[in-house]
Amino acid sequence: MARLPSSELRSLQNRFGFLYLLSLVFLLQALVVRTILFIKALPGMDHELLLLVKVYGTGFFYDCVTFSYVAIPFALYLVLVPDRIYRHRYHQWLAHAVFFAVLALLLFDIVAEYLFFDEFETRFNFIAIDYLVYTREVVGNIRESYPLNIIFTGILAGAAALHVLLRTRVDRAILPGPDTFGRRARQGLIMAMLPVLSFAFVDQSFTNISPNNYANELAGNGIYDLFAAFRNNELDFQKFYPTMDEDAALRHLRELLAEKTGPLASSDPRDITRVIANPVPEKKLNIVVIIEESLSAEYLGAFGNPEGHTPNLDRLVKESLLFTHAYATGTRTVRGLEAITLSIPPLPGTSIVKRPRNEDFFSWGTLMRSKGYDTRFVYGGQGYFDNMNYFFSHNGFAITDRSDLAKDEITFSNVWGVCDEDLFRRVIREGSRSHAEGRPFFFEVMTTSNHRPYTYPEGKIDVPSGTGRGGGVKYADYAIGRFIDEVKRQPWFKDTVIVIVADHCAASGGKVDLPVKRYEIPLLVYSPAYVRPGRVDRMMSQIDIAPTVLGILNMSYRSKFFGRDILKASVAPERAFISTYQKLGYITGDRLLVVGPKKRLDSYVVARADGSEREAKPREEDVADTMSYFQGASYIYKNRLNRFN
């Protein structure tokens, strides 16, 4: 390798030369990652030179900030290690080993960021944090989805090749030139100021360089975003989001809920309890809510998809009440479960399902249990994942998960859980048990088959197992069809309402922060004896499912739900809630209002046909409604005012 110039050699002939070399490697790797993701996102990017400059300029800034944090342990070591140890030949071997490990980790990060962006269309976020917590499921999913042996062999080979190419530079970077502790301490102190200043003055807001969300994602740094997500696991609405006077927000929230759902039960300004009174007798019908993993509305033929992946659901649509404009509240399973079970708008940060102190809420389960129902959460996977077992068992449900299925009940499984057919057979078994005991039942059923690695029993459909999402959707549809056929043979079928809905869409990223079309989910209510087939074109949210189904049963109750019975006449104006972990969206008519950290509020006009969004001045009444729903929900949750009494 060519000899370094004398000026460069002098700059490296101190202990921090090794750190400077690491910084160059780190910044080059970050540039490579950004370029790869830029190429991946190119179809959704705005093709403007100025935007490209902003992406790479802002990105370089965040890369430098990120390295200032990464450098902390290295800088401390270089300052504190005694000279006799630093000059030892074993220490030089250690430096080479560390350099090789850093190269391998940076190559691994390239692969990880690409795969994450390919799946979620974002840099690392809360989802990545969840994946670090639930390593068994996630590692198993990755092992079943990707050729890990080839990937890791390639990473190690690449790291080895780069190490050979850079070996001479590493040797020169760790030359034990003249140095003193005082000099090292001064240099270390200067370097320590960089992460301190970054922590004090830099957050993710500087990545907001464009209305194009892909550009904003690329302007960040994946490693920085990963740790930022860890810090912002739960965001205080009052502190970070735009607010109105607290009393006014609660007063307006009570007015909204009373007008759209039922009269208030008290004059307490903090109490949202309403009296839901139906003049006709209640129908003690069984309810089975099937929550399909990642089933976007766009996959169904009923929503215009020509690929024929969902013949059973498309046939069932003709026999069901179809809600054509239902929206998921978020992008993760636990957000959908939160909305369906608690009927509460999304809050900043992680789902209530995963938070501490999430017990004893007014939930669909606690309400049905108080009505004498056998209430059960049935899940094809291990219920400890995402804290599901704890949440449901402390909010009115018994639990049946993968661990409760006997070996002879499982014909196929992958890392996420048993196949949907096995799950549905257990649902029928639980329903028959409740029926034999003379108890109506209410089940929330969470499926897993339509999830990467998209593996399922061979020979069921004409798409080979493990070949992609199309097969996952088609097998999920097949399992639904088999379930409906089998349920029809049960003595309790005629007195059962079956609800089919998605937890969230397959992908919710896009050019904008909250692409409305990517939150559209199917919602079917099927009960030949009690629900007339048809279409409901009103906009609705997952939080409206419980009140709507309870309305079908003519149920009277005291409600702390935020949702409304969408079949009632007095539901105008239409509205729905969507969100990421930090951005909260309120849709009403053709308007989308988005609130976010830094007390930001943005308003858009949305074209329902294609979901395109353009900025617009917010209407005062929409702002008041948005603030009241989100601020009020945050206050109610924080003060536990929606507990089940």
Q: Convert the pLDDT of each residue in 235-276 to its tens digit.
A: 778 878 999 999 999 999 999 998 777 899 999 999 999 999
pLDDT value of residue 330 = 96
Helix (H) or strand (E) holding 446, with range, is strand 441-446
Contact indicator for 225, 582 with CB cutoff of 8 Å: no
pTM: 0.80
**Measured between alpha carbons, how far apart are the two ends of the chain, in Å?**
76
For residue 314, give the nearest of 481, 155, 85, 170 by alpha carbon. Answer: 481
Does 300 share its domain with 170? no
Whether 242 maps to a domain, the answer reads no
Are the CB atoms for 525 and 317 separated by under 8 Å? no
593 in a domain, yes or no?
no
Q: In sequence order, what E strands does 455-599 have?
A: 496-502, 520-526, 534-541, 557-559, 575-579, 584-588, 591-596
Q: Which of residues 564, 592, 610 is at a domain's end? A: 564
Are 277 and 556 in contact, with CB atoms under 8 Å apart?
yes
Q: 539, 564, 589: which is the final residue of a domain?
A: 564
Tokens representing 104?
């391998």
Q: What is the pLDDT of residue 1?
A: 40
Radius of gyration of the chain (CA): 28
184 inside domain:
yes
Q: Does residue 16 fall inside a structural domain?
A: yes
Do 288 and 160 lie in one domain? The reply is no
| pLDDT value of residue 135 | 62
Which 3-state string (H, E, C) describes 197-241? HHHHHCCHHHHCCCCCHHHHHHCCCHHHHHHHHHHCCCCCHHHHC
User: With left for phi above 0 and alpha for psi between -120 and 50, is residue 417 left, alpha or beta?
Assistant: left
Widest distance between CA atoms in the chain: 92
Residues of the chain with pLDDT under 70: 1-14, 130-138, 176-179, 231-234, 569
Distance from C-alpha of 149 to C-alpha of 135, rounded to nearest angstrom = 18
222-231 vs 126-133: helix crossing angle, rounded to 10: 80
For residues 594 and 579, the answer to whether their CB atoms sit within 8 Å is no
Bridge partners for 592 per DSSP: 587, 604
What is residue 72's predicted lDDT score, i.e. its pLDDT? Answer: 93
Residue 289 carries which side chain, given as an amino acid letter? V
Count of the separate structural domains present in the chain = 2
10 Å Cβ neighbour count for 638? 12
What is the per-residue pLDDT for 97?
94
d(CA 580, CA 351): 11
Distance CA 375, CA 396 (A): 7
Residue-level pLDDT at 134: 58
Range of the domain at 333: 272-564
Q: Are 226 and 276 part of one and the same domain?
A: no
Residue 43 lies in a domain: yes
Same domain? 320 vs 221? no
Is the same domain home to 348 and 490? Answer: yes
Tell me, yes or no, whether 347 and 488 share the same domain: yes
Supply the pLDDT for residue 572: 72
- With respect to residue 236, please indicate whether it lies within any of the assigned structural domains: no
Asked which of 564, 586, 605 is the last residue of a domain, the reply is 564
Q: Are residues 13 and 100 both part of a single domain?
A: yes
Which residue, chain included where needed, has tokens 């007195």? 495
Under DSSP, the state recorded for 147 is: -
Report pLDDT for 511.
Answer: 76
Closest Cα partner for 461 from 528, 412, 500? 412
| Three-state SS at 593 | strand
557 falls within a domain: yes
Residues 562, 564, 565: CA angle, nearest 5 degrees:
150
Q: Are residues 225 and 278 in the same domain?
A: no
For residues 213 and 296, membership in a common domain is answered with no
Query: What b/e readout covers 252-280, taking b as 16+ CB neighbours within 10 angstroms?
Result: bbbebbeebbbebbeeeebbbbbebebee
Pairing, β 441-446 against β 374-379 = parallel
Residues 288 and 221 in one domain: no
Name beta bridge partners: 595. 584, 601
Q: Tell me the two tokens of residue 601.
A: 């509020």
Single-letter code of the amino acid located at 547 = P
Structure tokens at 434: 């409740």
Is the same domain home to 198 and 313?
no
Degrees to nearest 5, angle at CA 62 with 111 and 613:
85
| Structural domain includes residue 510 | yes
Asked if residue 85 and residue 143 are part of one domain, the reply reads yes
- 385-413 core/surface letters (b: 16 or more CB in 10 A; e: else): bbbbbbbbeebbbebbbbeebeeeebebb
Residue 258 contacts residue 264 (beta carbons within 8 Å): yes
- CATH code, domain carrying 408: 3.40.720.10
